[in-house]
Amino acid sequence: MSKTEIRFLEGPQSRWKELKFTITVLYEFIKGLRALHFVGPCVTVFGSARFGEGHPDYEMARELSGKIAKLGFTIMTGGGPGIMEAANRGAREAGGRSVGCNIELPHEQKPNPYMDKWVSIRYFFIRKTLLSKYSYAFVVFPGGFGTLDEYFEAVTLIQTKKISEFPVVIMDKEFYKHIIAHIYLMKQEGTISPDDMNLFFFTDNVDEAVHYIQHNAIKKFNLRPEKPFKPFRWLFERG
């Protein structure tokens, strides 16, 4: 978190400080919206920043993202290293579009070199909103607290009808076996409904994941690979 974000979350501040923070948030949203407006239909890939080249999940993310890019989707990530880098890299190697929504951290997270376009955002909640806004599917690879936060937020938004019922694919069943068990426990205890089990798809197979996304995103929402908007030059926009 930035110092301004920490102060904001510590409780009420002066009205002037609250207003300044609100203006900063508005600016960050506008910056993100301008940067990502023309990226086209995206699939967002979540996962650990700590898995490098040669790790099985890195290579799986690279392969899967390449195949998704060939369907006509833009691959979007959090813009950093690890699984994010693998996904952006796979899209670029396949000749697809590759974008990122990077987060500014005290120990700076450097954007990976495989993106055609990216934007750096100061606040996590804005970044998560942007990652959701442009996505028609989500792929979740093994990761830490941040990955789980992004996964459960996406599922919660779908469950509560705040966004459409886009496909959510979770890769690596062995890594997530305890999460799977806990989800079944929640169903058993009645804290989620049986129908909520249809909001996500667990698999270890790249082709199964591609087929699931193709059937539940492209066909379901009748998506087209072309970009839906053209830039206005008088607004200094670039596609």
The reported pTM is 0.90
- Range of weakest confidence among 6-10, 48-52, 137-141, 152-156: 6-10
Instruction: Give the integer Cα–Cα distance in Å for 205 and 171.
Output: 8
Residue predicted with more confidence, 146 or 227? 146
Instruction: Give the integer Cα–Cα distance in Å for 83 and 56.
Output: 10
Confidence of residue 93 (pLDDT cuts 50, 70, 90): very high
DSSP string covering 212-226, please? Answer: HHIIIIIIHHT--SS
115 within 8 A of 100, measured Cβ to Cβ: yes
pLDDT of residue 226: 60
Taking only the tens place, the pLDDT of each residue in 99-119 is 999 998 766 578 999 999 999
Taking only the tens place, the pLDDT of each residue in 136-178 is 999 999 999 999 999 999 999 999 999 999 999 999 999 999 9
* Tokens encoding 32: 């993100």
pLDDT of residue 219: 80
- Range of weakest confidence among 6-15, 67-76, 156-165, 204-213: 6-15
Domains of the chain, residue spans: 41-103+110-118+134-224
Confidence of residue 8 (pLDDT cuts 50, 70, 90): confident
* Fold annotation for 41-103+110-118+134-224: Rossmann fold (3.40.50)
Instruction: Give the integer Cα–Cα distance in Å for 191 and 74.
Output: 35
